[in-house]
Structure 1
Amino acid sequence: MRLPLPALEPESERFWRACREGRLEITRCRACGWYVHPPRPVCPRCQARDVCWEAVSGRATVVSYTVNHQRWMPGMEVPYAIGLVELIEQADLRLTTNIVGCAPDAVTIGMPVRVTFRDVSDEIALPLFEPDPEASRPAPPPRAARPLTPPIRPGSDQHLERRAILSGVGQSQIGRRLFRTDLDLTCEAALAAIADAGLTTRDIDGLACYPGPMGTAAPGFAGPGTPEVQDALGLQLGWHGSGGEGPAQLAPVMLAALAVAAGLCRHALVYRTVTEATAAANTGRLGIGAGSRSVSGFAQWVIPFGAMSAANWLALHAVRHMHEFGTRREHLGEIALTARAHAALNPAAVYREPLTMEDYLRARMVTWPFGLYDCDVPVDGSTAVVVSAADAARDLPHPAVRINAVGSAIRGRPVWDQWEDLTTMAARDAAAQLWARTDLTPADVDTIQLYDGFSWLTLAWIEALGFCKRGEGGPFVEGGRVRLGGPLPLNTWGGQLSGGRLHGFGFLAEAIRQLRGQGGARQVKDCEVAVVAAGGGPIAGCLLLTR
């Protein structure tokens, strides 16, 4: 089966036409000389609109890579090397591509490469890169010390998020291949959350979800939209919203808090529902774009090269982090083992059997350095929370969970393969904003519930949130530091690696229960402050919650 090919869209057609003619062309600003990729009609550096196409040398350096072993589509030949190359014309001028002309395992960071073109249709040729025997360029220096964006200011001293609380939490049945509808699961979780808050459906006047209906979403990903849920529950709303854009999966919680603070509603129901396990049973687990003949937008720059999953995109970050800081697979393994140890204490977790480091290292490879246990587990399930006005705390049947601060900032380029520093993510900016909006510090935190769609994401969040220095996330998680009984218990419900991919909301549900003292066998002692974080790559959001 052939990989989907780029759609010839107005802004990118020139790029693909030039490749078909054996040239590599990139848009460039005539005013300041800055190269811009992917192509944009305006220069992001100086905002000039005088942007033109210009041929470049086609010589580059590998800044990161991953060797993919997963067959994202039937008939794919694996393994193959996905590379992120930096063209010699400009620092950070990058393309996602395949490295050919050498064994996949022979690819290294710093390898000089040159473009070669492979015809894949009458209209499209893909720019691939091969080792450049004529190059005499030395490997690029490590970039760990490169300057980061300026510090983030609080923006406002009003702290509107503190006018809202998390008053209720509920979850549906969670499991593999439940073969229940997403609306059925959502209603189960929603009614549980409403009852947990001591409310009825008549009290709910706000509604939000992530991401809402998405025509391009993989089967089982999007969940039901707010109109379906409003109708099913008979809600009368003063505010509603949803959407896949924003500070990751926690975006609707932040929006609901702001709606409550603005007086648009008093009790907002927020939910996230997935049925990806059932969908995979029906269609097979395919990569993004599988089954399509063409792809557009960001996907056209990665999917045709077999980078069909966030696993591939984030592996490029992980490999660069390993290169610069000496992070090892055993460090990633500690994240997976911690998740499994905590899942053993959670009756709702999907994987509870013991996992050893030997098991972890022997598991099949997905895309280097991510093996099977570095990747979260698709499940069916729904999680719902109720966001209420702060003055409702006095009427709750449980202790109120307060929103002390939120982080939603993004300062780098919001493109997966164009993030300026691959050893970080947008987590860097969201975390900086979070701490700028509070007097609390990382030392005050009792538990961290951090996104682990892939193990490396958790290390990146630990560093971004300041629990250790940049580059020291690997050693930080060693020695039981992030296990129950240690100083900073991580993902005490088992995370998405063992508890199941509830897509960010499982972490929020666990933080609420820990702060209430409802963690059962996995309860963190004297838990008063929790951080919840979700998202990866250029998508990130975080919450600082208190009892």
Structure 2
Amino acid sequence: MTSNASPSAPRPLPAVDDLNAFYWSAGRDGVLRFQRCQDCASLVHPPQPVCCYCHSDRLGVTEVSGRGTVIGVTVNHQPWEPAFPPPFVVASVAIDEDPRVRVITGLVDIPAEDAAVGLRVHVRFEQAEDVWLPVFAPMPEEPGPAEAAPDEPGPAETASEEPGPEQSDESRRGLVFGPLPDDAIAPAEHGRHVRPMVRADKFEDRVAITGIGMSPVGRRLMLPPLALAAAAARAAVADAGLELSDIDGLSTFPGGELIGGFTEGGVTALADTLGIRPTWYNGGSETFGPGGAVVAAMLAVASGLARHVLCFRTVWQSTYAAQQRAANPGGGSPYGIGGRGGRITGPQGYIAPYGVGSVAINLAMIASNYFRRYGATREALGWIAINQRANAALNPQAVYRDPMTMDDYLNARMITTPFGLYDCDVPMDASLAVIVSAVETAHDLASPPVFVEAVGTQITERFLWHQSTTSHEPQTLGPSAHLWSRTSLRPADVQVAQLYDGFSFNCLSWLEAMGFCGVGEAADFVAGGHNIARKGGIVALNTHGGQLSAGRTHGMGMIHEAVVQLRGQGGERQVDGCSVAAVSTGGLAPAGAMLLRRS
């Protein structure tokens, strides 16, 4: 393997500017360069105007050895972008001088089947127009990690003592493997970074969820997304026993324009359609996952800005994809990374040149680190997918309801290792809505209120996916620790957990982050499916089938199902005695968690 990119199609290239030009031109000299803080000696990547560690603005540029360790790797089998015909390898490499710096890259001079976490590598460069792209090749021998000069102390470096699975395959003889660098914060230590409550009284005690609604759902409904949003909104208002005129707040994620089947047009579109004139409204993607719109609504109601806030989330990716295929037959995936019409700006510019055309690739690299670090295998992900399918069989709204076996799971086509088809959520058309009301009104409305025990929103790590946690899905450990700091309840008090599962590995991370099992223990916890089953389990997981089988609702479906279970309205899938439900929303994006209760 010499390069991921196809010579017949131009690969996406980064936008070069005054801040990053040194990085993209360093390969012309055959070296790798990063920003270096002149005060704390940290390497900073991607380049930025202020050191994210000590906040100094005295940043220079330094040359590094170009050596590192592969901390995440995936072989992608899905065609996302013409420039990258599958299969191809994408890797994350931690740099020796400061392992907090990770370079998303391609691997060269190694067969795809030999690419593995722990591989020691050194930099090469591939020129594309005015950009020299760093790629990495296996090291022929192990020279040892580069050390900072005595007069330039670098950040403390630690290495995991766990060697992970032995690299004993004959095809890997002659390759050098090393220990894995640890994350800046160990998984169990995020709680130490949680900020204490400002006051004893909680805003959560002043709100309740009083209504839920769902539009028609399914694959390729070919309905306007705004029609789906209006249907869900009206259903939620009716469920609460309210009138549209009672709604004085609107909140949505991500809001805005009709991009890629991810939204109906936002607050302004729905407000105009339904004739709502809110006293408060909110819409945007920079929040705590899709549930961030609901948390924002809670804050608005608790502060007195609004009395009844309608929160909604619309997806129509299935119809959108069909429309794109009809408009451009054979034109590749509608979710591709693009790059034909210009240079890629921002953080995406550091990953798009290597074929990272899907969230799946990012998360698959993290899953590979988890597998190596804790000895998990694909079967752990399989038990989650099988559990979701068993629950979906009892949900008439679920997209996939046929039984699934472990053989079905393992034999499905690969998407990007270790993820196969059944590790990935199902694109669909749907809109869901919930009403957040002032608690004083809750008992006067039509449906049993669901109360909010606590929310978890704190971010304890870097926002950028490719520079954040490598052992677990980023943005799960901080919000989970924050949630438990705001309640006296504990994981043992929870009967159902509706945990985000855009991919099966999301669920594995959330189970550990939320404390339903210990760090590194999720594979054993889910084995056999008994602990996560609806009947007789420790905690019933994703009782509606989750996004893996019920369909992709980007987290709002998790809140909807939690309310259904707490009301006792789950029918055949109802969990007996459900009084507390844990919910998480968000996968790789900034995420949030909440704890809901019946009384």
TM-score of the two chains, using structure 1 as the length reference: 0.96
Q: In the alignment, residue 260 of structure 1 is paired with which amino acid?
A: V
Change (3 A) 1:23 1:222: farther
* In 1, Cα distance between equivalents of 2:451 and 2:525: 28
Q: Please state whether the residue corresponding to 2:443 is helix, strand or coil.
A: helix
SS at match of 1:166: strand
Candidates 557, 560, 571, aligned match of 1:509: 560
The one-letter code of the counterpart of 1:248 is G
- Match of 2:108? 100
Partner of 2:210: helix, strand, or coil? strand
Matched residue of 1:208: which SS? strand
Q: Is the counterpart of residue 300 in structure 1 residue 349 in structure 2?
A: yes
Residue 152 of structure 1: aligned partner: 194
| Corresponding residue for residue 241 of structure 2 | 198
Contact persistence 2:69–2:180 (CA under 8 A): no
Distance (whole Å) between structure 1 residues aligned to residue 577 and residue 205 of structure 2: 22
Paired residue for 2:64? Answer: 56
Contact 2:211 2:434 in 1 (8 A): yes
Partner of residue 395 from structure 1, selected from 444, 466, 473: 444
Give the equivalent residue in structure 2 for 1:208. 251
Matches within 5 A, 1:232-271: 232-271=273-312
Shift in Å, 1:537 = 2.8
- Deviation string 1:152-177 (CA, Å, 9 cap, x unpaired) is 24323221022111010000011111
Residue 154 of structure 1 aligns with an amino acid whose one-letter code is P
Question: What amino acid sits opposite 1:17 in the alignment?
Answer: S
Q: CA deviation at 1:270?
A: 0.5
Which amino acid is the alignment partner of residue 266 of structure 2? G
Alpha-carbon offset, residue 434 of structure 1: 0.5
Q: Decide whether aligned partners of structure 1 residues 55 and 541 sit closer, same or farther in structure 2, where only a CA change above 3 A counts.
A: same
Map of 1:2 onto structure 2: 10
Question: Counterparts of 1:115-194 in structure 2 under 5 Å?
Answer: 115-121=123-129, 123-137=130-144, 139-141=178-180, 143=182, 146=186, 148-149=189-190, 150-156=192-198, 157-194=200-237
- The answer on whether the counterparts of 1:317 and 1:424 sit within 8 Å (CA) in structure 2 is yes
* Deviation (angstroms), 1:20: 4.5
Q: Structure 2 matches for 1:126-525, cutoff 5 A? A: 126-137=133-144, 139-141=178-180, 143=182, 146=186, 148-149=189-190, 150-156=192-198, 157-213=200-256, 217=259, 219-284=260-325, 285-290=333-338, 292=340, 293-423=342-472, 425-479=474-528, 480-487=530-537, 488-525=539-576
* Aligned with 1:14 (options 22, 26, 33): 22
Cα distance in 2 for partners of 1:392, 1:411 equals: 35
Residues 1:543 and 2:594 aligned together: yes
CA contact (8 A) 2:257 2:265 kept: no
Q: Is the 8 A contact 1:193 1:385 kept in 2?
A: yes
Please give the alpha-carbon distance, in whole angstroms, between the structure 1 residues aligned to 2:407 and 2:397. Answer: 26
Structure 1 residues 21 and 281, CA, compared in 2 at 3 Å: closer, same or farther? Answer: farther
Bigger drift between 86-95 and 502-511 goes to 86-95
Aligned mates of 1:502, 1:266 — CA distance in 2: 26
Matched letter for residue 342 of structure 1: N
Which amino acid counterpart does residue 349 of structure 2 have in structure 1? Q
Query: Bigger shift: 187-196 or 151-160?
Result: 151-160
Q: Is the 1:401–1:546 Cα contact (8 Å) retained in structure 2?
A: yes
CA contact (8 A) 2:317 2:427 kept: yes
Tell me, in whole angstroms, the C-alpha distance in 1 between the residues paired with 2:394 and 2:17: 51
Measured in 2, the distance between the counterparts of 1:505 and 1:420 equals 25
Q: CA deviation at 1:86?
A: 1.1
CA–CA separation in structure 1 for the residues paired with 2:58 and 2:12: 32
2 CA distance for matches of 1:51 and 1:75? 35
**CA displacement at 1:288 relative to structure 2:** 4.6
- Cα drift, residue 478 of structure 1: 2.0
Using the TM superposition, give the Cα deviation of residue 316 of structure 1 relative to its aligned residue in structure 2, in angstroms.
1.3
**Separation in 1 of the partners of 2:132 and 2:353?**
10
Question: CA separation in 1, counterparts of 2:522 and 2:561?
Answer: 23
Cα displacement (A) at 1:294: 2.3
- Higher mean C-alpha displacement, 471-480 vs 523-532: 471-480
| Amino acid corresponding to residue 268 of structure 2 in structure 1 | P
Q: CA deviation at 1:467?
A: 0.5
- Give the CA deviation at 1:397: 1.4
CA distance in 1, matches of 2:224, 2:523: 40
Q: Is the 8 A contact 1:72 1:290 kept in 2?
A: no
For these two proteins, the number of residue pairs brought into alignment is: 544
Unaligned runs of 5+ in 1: none
Post-superposition CA distance 1:322-371 (Å, at most 9, x none): 11111110110011111111111111101111111101100111111000
Measure, in 2, the Cα distance between the counterparts of 1:148 and 1:287: 36
| Cα distance between partner residues in 2 of 1:12 and 1:363 | 42
> Share of identical aligned residues, percent?
44
What is the identity, as a one-letter code, of the residue corresponding to 1:449?
Answer: Q
Task: Note closer, same or farther for the CA distance 1:229–1:141 as it changes in structure 2 (3 Å cut).
Answer: closer
Paired residue type of 2:253 = Y
Aligned counterparts of 1:385 and 1:291: Cα–Cα separation in 2: 38
CA contact (8 A) 1:413 1:538 kept: no
Query: Would the aligned equivalents of 1:143 and 1:324 in 2 still touch at CA under 8 Å?
Result: no
The residue identity in structure 1 corresponding to 2:547 is Q
Q: Distance in 1 between matches of 2:482 and 2:366?
A: 22
CA distance in 2: counterparts of 1:190 and 1:10, whole angstroms: 47
**Letter of the 1:94 counterpart:** R
- CA distance in structure 1 between the aligned counterparts of 2:81 and 2:181, rounded to whole angstroms: 35
Measure the CA separation in 2 of the matches of 1:536 and 1:338.
19
CA contact (8 A) 1:171 1:381 kept: yes
Pairwise CA RMSD: 1.7
Q: 2:334, 2:141 → 1: CA distance? A: 39
AA matched with 2:499: L
Q: Secondary structure at the match of 1:185?
A: helix
Instruction: Measure how far apart 1:151 and its partner are.
Output: 4.4
Which structure 2 residue ranges, 5 or more long, are not aligned?
1-8, 145-176, 326-332
Whole-Å Cα distance in 2 between the matches of residues 312 and 2 of structure 1?
20
Cα separation, 2, equivalents of 1:201 and 1:11: 50
The SS at the match of 2:290 is helix
What is the TM-score with the length of structure 2 in the denominator? 0.88
Give the distance between the partners of 1:31 and 1:410, measured in 2 at CA.
25
**1:16–1:124 Cα contact (<8 Å) kept:** yes
State the Cα deviation string for residues 59-115 of structure 1 (Å, max 9, x = none): 111112111111102463221111111111112221010111110110122211111
Q: 1:420 to 1:509 in 2, by over 3 A?
A: closer
Deviations 1:133-157 (A, max 9, x none): 1433361257499473424243232
Q: Is the 1:142–1:324 Cα contact (8 Å) retained in structure 2?
A: no
